[in-house]
Amino acid sequence: MRQFPIFFTVQDRPVLLVGGGEAAAAKLRLLLKADAWVTVITEDPLDEILDLYELGEIDWEARGFDAADLNGAILAYAATGDDAQDRAVSAAARKAGVPVNVVDRPELSNFITPAIVERDAITVAVSSGGAAPVLARTVKAAIERLLPPNLGRLALFAERFRGAVKAVVPAGRDRLRFWDKFFSGPIAAQVLSGDEKGATEAMLAAVNRRTPEEPGIVHIVGAGPGAADLVTLRAQRLLNQADVIVHDRLVSDEILDLARRDAERIDVGKTPGSHPVPQDRINAIIIEQARAGKRVVRLKGGDPFIFGRGGEELDELRAAGIAADVVPGITAAQASAAATGMPLTHRDHASAVTYVTGHLADGKGGDAPAVDWSALARSGATLAVYMGVGAAPRISQDLSDHGLADTPVTLVENATRPDQRTVTGRIRDLADLVRLNGITGPAMIVIGSVAALARADQGTDAARMESMSCMAAAV
């Protein structure tokens, strides 16, 4: 260890800052966050510094540095950009025994300001001891990604209950265990997901019971379209903490590998037309698991609220009185668009986009409201059709009957996965595009003039010819 790490209390204590440029302002912002009382010495302050002075938040002297400025200071910073002045501040501070930092001059400093990750009360400081400041910043960025943004709220939440826990849970091992369980348990998860009201109720009950064990929580999490690096940071964190993962067929192994090694995995995957685990049973599983006090991640392909039945599961959980929240994922339409360079809206092509299921086009939708293809055809919006491969002949027929026979269409199969394929053509040929290209995997069908902008990477010669003619039509 090259330097000794400490956190220094500067609240309401005098700190000297010599300099008035951007580097000085950056240090000033940081010092004010910690409520230091800062005196700035400079003849040439930035407006930002003047504003703070006018607001009465700092002292400012419009002159050069004098060694007497160090009297009473607990820390000194020099950021003048002038070698002689910076050296003078450094030498005088050392002589007066005041710790000094000269910005970007480790040889003139006897302390550094580390790279900082801040979450309210939680502060993580990273230093390379001057060996590789850029590496320290890279480490800081990695920690930023790891720590949930509201971790500080969790610290403040725990602080609110410290007295109450102290009053009822005996000191030593019991109290340690209480907090240990709290920070890795469902109440903390509730705070982190933003439900402080629910967490407060649960914590009050836990304090009265003297144990934070509680019925579990269900996070309904979108896993995105397949690529593991398209999973959100929140989803990654929850996967890493889950006791049980209840997942669909469309969730890739790569994503499941992000989960805690010892987490139980329950596969409730469905294939089109066959439903190995009926929805009622899935609802029952997640409720049972949460009632057993587990942290459950209900992991779904894409986004849970886009043709994902996330709404139904959330209703059931709420009715059962189980804490639940929803983490969005990248939906297949957006993934397909990005993966093929095909914007779903475009100033020259479409000012609206409709997400629609093709599953109902073959009349097998049961009680679900029917899709009005004639209204969609008239809307001029880009149509992003989910679950449409099986019903491609019917969709092609319906839209052609309503005047879209020549409209470009792009199919993106297995978007963002290693086996992604893109084929393009015209609506009237949609059934052939599916058949001739052997599209069997999960695929999006995107309809509208934007579809001609997609980069077609595979497909039959006929599909490629179509694609070229679509591009020509678009130009």
Ligand X SMILES: C[S@@+](CC[C@H](N)C(=O)[O-])C[C@H]1O[C@@H](n2cnc3c(N)ncnc32)[C@H](O)[C@@H]1O
Does the footprint of ligand X cover residue 412 (CB under 6 A)? Answer: yes
Name which of 30, 227, 232, 26 is nearest 149 in CA terms. Answer: 232
- 181 counts as catalytic: no
Interface with ligand X by CB under 6 A: which range of 298-306, 343-351, 364-372, 373-381?
298-306
Strands 122-126 and 323-327: unpaired
Nearer to ligand X, 172 or 273 (CB): 273
Only segment of 64-72, 105-113, 318-326, 437-445 that touches ligand X (CB under 6 A): 437-445
Q: Does residue 387 touch ligand X according to CB under 6 A?
A: yes
Is residue 226 a contact point for ligand X (CB under 6 A)? yes
Q: How do beta strands 443-447 and 382-386 pair? A: antiparallel
Q: Which of 85, 109, 236, 336 binds ligand X (CB under 6 A)?
A: 336
Nearer to ligand X, 27 or 359 (CB): 359
Cβ closer to ligand X: 250 or 454?
Answer: 250
Least CB distance to ligand X at residue 387 (A): 4
Q: Does 196 bind ligand X (CB under 6 A)?
A: no
d(CA 398, CA 74): 78
Q: Measure the CA–CA gap between 236 and 253, rounded to whole angstroms.
A: 14
State the pairing for strand pair 37-41/14-18. Answer: parallel
Q: Of 109 and 414, which CB lies nearer to ligand X in the complex structure?
A: 414
What x-and-dash track marks residues 36-65 binding ligand X by CB under 6 A?
------------------------------
- Binding of ligand X by 429 (CB under 6 A): no
Sheet with strand 323-327: strands edge to edge? 264-267, 244-247, 295-300, 217-222, 323-327
Do the Cβ atoms of 430 and 461 come closer than 8 Å?
Answer: no
State how far the Cα of 319 lies from the Cα of 297, in Å rounded to an integer: 18
Residue nearest to ligand X (CB): 302
DSSP secondary-structure letter at 402?
A: I
Q: Spot the catalytic one: 59, 181, 270, 362.
A: 270
Kindly tell me which residue out of 302, 328, 425, 459 binds ligand X, with binding defined by CB under 6 A: 302
Least distance between ligand X and beta carbon 391 (Å): 11
Residue 396: CB minimum distance to ligand X, A = 16
By CB under 6 A, tell whether 301 contacts ligand X: yes
Give me the least distance between CB of 329 and ligand X, in Å please: 7
Is the CB of 56 or the CB of 418 nearer to ligand X? 418
Q: Pattern of binders to ligand X over 314-333, x per CB under 6 A? A: -----------------xx-
**Site of tokens 């929803």:** 326
On the CB side of 156, CA atoms within 13 Å amount to: 11
In this structure, the number of other CB atoms found within 10 A of the CB of residue 269 comes to 14
CB of residue 28 to ligand X, shortest distance in Å: 46
Helix, strand, coil abundance in the chain, percent, nearest 5: 45, 20, 40
Query: Angle at CA 118, nearest 5°, toward 112 and 120?
Result: 130
Q: Are 179 and 166 in contact (CB under 8 A)?
A: no
Are 222 and 332 within 8 A, CB to CB?
Answer: no
**x/- track of binding to ligand X for residues 346-385 (CB under 6 A):** ----------------------------------------
* Count of positions on this chain that bind ligand X (CB under 6 A): 23
Q: Pick from 28, 242, 306, 452 the residue near ligand X by CB under 6 A.
A: 306
List the catalytic residue out of 195, 248, 303, 398.
248
| SS3 state of residue 327 | strand
Q: Which of 65, 77, 307, 373 binds ligand X (CB under 6 A)?
A: 307
| Binder of ligand X out of 241, 299, 386, 400 (CB under 6 A) | 386
Q: Which of residues 239-268 bind ligand X (CB under 6 A)?
A: 250
- Asked if 404 interacts with ligand X (CB under 6 A), we say no
Tokens of 295: 């942290």
444 lines the binding site for ligand X (CB under 6 A): yes
Active site residue 270: yes
* Stretch in the footprint of ligand X (CB under 6 A) among 2-10, 29-37, 274-282, 441-449: 441-449
Q: How far is the CB of 253 from ligand X (least distance, A)?
A: 14
- For 70, which DSSP code? G
189-202: string of b/e by CB count within 10 Å (b at 16+)? Answer: bbbbbebbebbbeb
> What's the closest the beta carbon of residue 316 comes to ligand X, in angstroms?
18
The pairs formed by 204-212 with CB atoms below 8 angstroms and a separation of 24 or more are 206/182, 207/161, 207/164, 207/165, 207/168, 207/169, 208/168, 210/168, 210/169, 210/174, 210/178, 211/178, 211/181, 212/178, 212/181, 212/182, 212/185, 212/187
Provide the angle, in degrees to the nearest 10, between the axes of the packed helices 310-319 and 279-291: 50
Q: Which of 382, 414, 422, 467 binds ligand X (CB under 6 A)?
A: 414
Based on the shown chain and the rule CB under 6 A, indicate whether residue 79 belongs to the binding site for ligand X. no
Sites of contact with ligand X (CB under 6 A): 225-226, 250, 300-303, 306-308, 331-332, 336, 386-387, 412, 414-417, 442-444
Q: Indicate which residues carry an active-site annotation.
A: 248, 270
